[in-house]
Copies of this chain bind each other. A is one copy, B any other.
């Protein structure tokens, strides 16, 4: 018996808004299927974000390679009595055969620049829209949130504890993978551990303590159950008395040559409690026992705790990470920029798009730090770009790479740990002003003169399109 909490490969093509297919069927019926370019971009930076981390790109590429409308999908679409048989036949044979240029997963990006371009027959590029937005958008939001937490933690370990509050099963998997990619030490999510090879972490539940008649007995039972050092949860009742009980257990463990890994504080004033906990542990000679904090943490709270010198060695971040709570959705768009070799734009109020196929060039200083990005037309010369970016060509790189040609991936699939290393290196190249947790300075992203000229000429042309 199938359960609802599942997603089969053959269903993925229907993870689509109806209009993608109605529009496609109208285009198909008119043979309007010339090459088109659509761009994924972030319209504006989310609140307090000075940089974004790309994620979800690998999944998008994987799905595009596998996209199929199976018999059940076709039968369902037929039942809607919207689509003509010729279009349903086309869908039944549908394969994505387009080209994809995209930023590398783990790279930093900013609002106002394309991070993924699909260049394909119009209908193929249209059909990909909902999937691209759904998958690459949230993954980037949570990778970015995670990178901010890692930055705030100043080298201390941060672990994803968010699955229970994540928006469904897929979100929990995306959050675990994206946060690891962005520098988290691991996750509590076992399925993410299995799928992605991410280290899994866990401490102890309140229920375990509550089920025992004595807290001390619970701590002893737990710590003697495992060969490796465990982390004990101290706040089920009175936290500091819990810490005293944990210290007793640690002292006994030491006598037998074992040790306590850490103490977890999950509620109350973590700053005051961590200081008192550290004192108690040190009084018992337990300098090596770590303090692990959790409970409504996010990058802001972590920064506050460390600014107040809270002696916390590691952080568990749950809800705030898993739903990217101060920015649960990014303003990502997927817009047609060229059709039949001609630039296209929309002028909708507050939602205008930038026409034409593009490349984004990123300049670095000699020491490696990023300086700024230039959004250019596809055919602009390296000399022009170097002049505008005021950097030698050797310090300028195009960030959109050919990832897929005619539906086949061209670049080797990077391992998650490589992506993680790349993300760490990319964030390190950002000036601290762009990494500030609140009101960061805006990273310079400019349009080239050619792009500006195209915007002006396309506005005129768009005007004529309404006559």
Q: Interface residues, chain A, CB within 8 Å of chain B?
A: 1-9, 11-12, 14-23, 25-27, 29-30, 32, 36, 38, 58-59, 62-63, 66, 72-73, 76-77, 80-82, 122, 126, 129-130, 133-135, 137-138, 161, 163-174, 188-191, 193-195, 200-216, 221-222, 225-228, 230, 235-239, 241-242, 245, 266-269, 295, 319, 322-325, 328-330, 332, 334-336, 339, 344-351, 462-463, 465-467
Contacts and interface: CB of A to CB of B under 8 A. Distances in A.
A262 B322 CA distance: 38
B166 A134 contact: yes
A145 to B, nearest CB: 12
A164 B137 contact: yes
Contact of A7 (B19, B77, B170): B170
Contacts of A7: 5-7, 169-170
Contact of A23 (B8, B207, B235): B207
A246 to B, nearest CB: 11
A71 to B, nearest CB: 12
A38 B137 contact: no
B12 A6 contact: yes
Nearest to A326: B328
B207 A38 contact: yes
Nearest to A139: B168
A347 B237 contact: yes
A171 B322 CA distance: 12
A457 to B, nearest CB: 15
B134 A164 contact: yes
Contact of A348 (B58, B241, B268): B268
A116 to B, nearest CB: 14
Given A237-B346, A238-B347, A239-B349, A9 B18 contact: no
B163 A350 contact: no
Contacts of A228: 82
A62 B228 CA distance: 36
Contact of A167 (B163, B167, B201, B267): B167
A26 B163 contact: no
A216 B336 CA distance: 18
Nearest to A191: B14
A238 B465 CA distance: 10
A79 B133 CA distance: 36
